[in-house]
Amino acid sequence: MVMAKKPARNTAVENPALMEPMLPREGDRRLEDLAVELVSRASALAGNLNPAVQRSVGELVRSMNCYYSNLIEGHDTHPREIDRALARDYSTEPTRRALQLEAVAHIELQRRIDEGKDEKGEAASTKYVLWLHREFCERLPEELLWVENPDPHKRIRVKPGAMREGDVAVGRHVPPSAGSLPTFMARFEEAYSSPHLSKLRQVIAVAAAHHRLVWIHPFYDGNGRVARLMSHAMLRRLGIGSSLWSVARGLARNVNRYKELLMAADEPRRSDLDGRGSLSEAALIDFCEFFLEASVDQIEFIASLLEPSELLRRIQLFVEDETRAGRLPKGAFPILREAFFAGELQRGQARELTGYQERMGRTVLSKLLGQGLLVSDGPKAPVRLGFPLDIVERWFPRLYPVDCVQVQRFQSRWPRSARPFPLSEEMQREDRSR
């Protein structure tokens, strides 16, 4: 991150009241309706899949979330590079390797959140925000822990889990001074960790807290990423968020609007009709509406991909194509279908499911494991569905931008009639419209 030249600061206004209102006024119908819809759709999504299948989908979604969060930061790390990094296959080119390590850091941290192994307590607390920053930055390579401040011109090392010790400016916005950060964060925690907020107000608070944390800008670098991970954790604690969906995709696909609304919510109150705080309430409402709409949209999108009959149909078509091409043995689909419905299956079931003798059944199972279509926690442990990157566009169309899944190795080994890339013009138009 390169910080803009810092304008003169009026130290007389270093007061947490500067970031009021912390929440839009009660009774805003647009926000309340969106909060209700978000809760409803999230609840429906959770019941669609076997928990073991959800576990595998969660791994895929975490990689996707990382890709889109990186994209928002201007770090275009290809899904293939993220996939290799997770297998500890790093690039020899220093810049690409650093971005791969950054991706692994993000995924490992979100996995801790999804598995309930994160810091306890309120996700909108100073303690939790510092924990997120520390856990993320401690996993980064040294070269990504330095930022430049052009006024005065010097390089500053980011300290994991420590609030900044100097003043910064971000575009036209001048965040609170370093000395006042504890006071601002105390007000932040008070506003968004309140046990007196109704469930709907808590949902709206996730969106409002996202902006206000970026506005405070407590760290030299990593504020946007920490805000997105905090939002994910807040939604998880409300029982709305899950490993199955991520708002990051929605924010990244509308990244210009996302950044415009963040900046607009930095602006002071526009008139006497614009709330009673120092900042614009109307702009905060607009940002919250955008954030909640993006969340609802992403749940709808993922729900459409995970609709059981359609997902199973896509898997079957894929297996049929691969079997005809000689890349999968006959009998593969019954095993995948059983893993889809049962969640897990014992290795010994392969013979019964394929109708082959035991040795051939093991061969089919071994082939599926070798291609990552099945995964296991150990050589003798039960197997469950896997979702390797190579099959993403066939099984989960539009999860990534079209050009991101056009992998050379994949293109060369698929017969032209069976290639899943690129999407048809109709599907591309649908993708652009989401």
Extents of the domains making up the chain: 11-306, 308-433
CA distance 291 to 433: 18
CA-to-CA dists, residue 357 to 28, 292, 334, 362, 380, angstroms: 65, 53, 15, 9, 19
CA distance 347 to 181: 56
**Predicted pLDDT at 424:** 36
Residue 406, token pair as written in the block: 């056009």
Peptide bond into 21 cis (omega under 30): yes
The rounded Cα 192 to chain-centroid distance in angstroms is 21
Contact between 427 and 398 (Cβ < 8 Å): yes
CA distance 189 to 114: 22
Residue 110, token pair as written in the block: 């979100």
At residue 426, what are phi and psi to the nearest 5 degrees? -65, -45
The rounded Cα 146 to chain-centroid distance in angstroms is 24
Residue 308 DSSP SS3: helix
Q: Which helix (H) or strand (E) holds 375?
A: strand 374-376
Beta partners for 153?
150
**CB hemisphere CA count around 393 (13 angstroms):** 23
Residue 354 has pLDDT above 80, yes or no: yes
Least confident interval from 113-127, 310-324, 349-363: 349-363
In the chain, % of residues over pLDDT 90: 77
What's the mean pLDDT in 102-111?
97
Residue 168 has pLDDT above 80, yes or no: yes
Looking at beta carbons, which pairs linking 228-232 to residues 24 or more positions away fall under 8 Å?
228/69, 228/72, 229/106, 229/109, 229/110, 229/113, 229/132, 229/136, 230/123, 230/124, 230/128, 230/129, 230/132, 231/206, 231/207, 231/291, 232/65, 232/110, 232/113
Computed over every residue of the chain, the mean pLDDT equals 89
**Predicted pLDDT at 90:** 96
Question: Tell me, which fold does domain 11-306 have in CATH?
Answer: Fic-like fold (1.10.3290)
Strand pairing class (146-150; 153-157): antiparallel
Query: May I ask the CATH class of domain 308-433?
Result: mainly alpha
Residue 88 has pLDDT above 60, yes or no: yes
Residue 375 has pLDDT above 60, yes or no: yes
Residue 150: band (very low, low, confident or very high) from pLDDT cuts 50, 70, 90 = low
Residue 164 has pLDDT above 60, yes or no: yes
pTM (predicted TM-score): 0.89
Residue 374 DSSP SS3: strand
What's the mean pLDDT in 274-301?
96
Residue 148: band (very low, low, confident or very high) from pLDDT cuts 50, 70, 90 = confident
What's the mean pLDDT in 213-233?
97
Beta partners for 2?
148
CA torsion 291-236-308-330 (nearest 10°) is 120
Residue 312 has pLDDT above 50, yes or no: yes
Residue 342: band (very low, low, confident or very high) from pLDDT cuts 50, 70, 90 = very high
CA distance 242 to 256: 26
Output b/e per residue, 375-411; b: 16+ Cβ within 10 A: beeeeeebbbbbbebbbbbbbbbbbbbbebbebeebe
Strand runs labelled E in 56-167? 146-150, 153-157
Q: Which of 255, 257, 232 lies closest to 245, judged by CA?
A: 232
Peptide bond into 422 cis (omega under 30): yes
Residue 9: band (very low, low, confident or very high) from pLDDT cuts 50, 70, 90 = low
Biggest alpha carbon distance in the chain? 82
Residue 411 has pLDDT above 90, yes or no: no
Residue 178 has pLDDT above 60, yes or no: yes
What's the mean pLDDT in 371-391?
94
What's the mean pLDDT in 189-199?
91
Strand runs labelled E in 305-350? none
What's the mean pLDDT in 233-242?
94
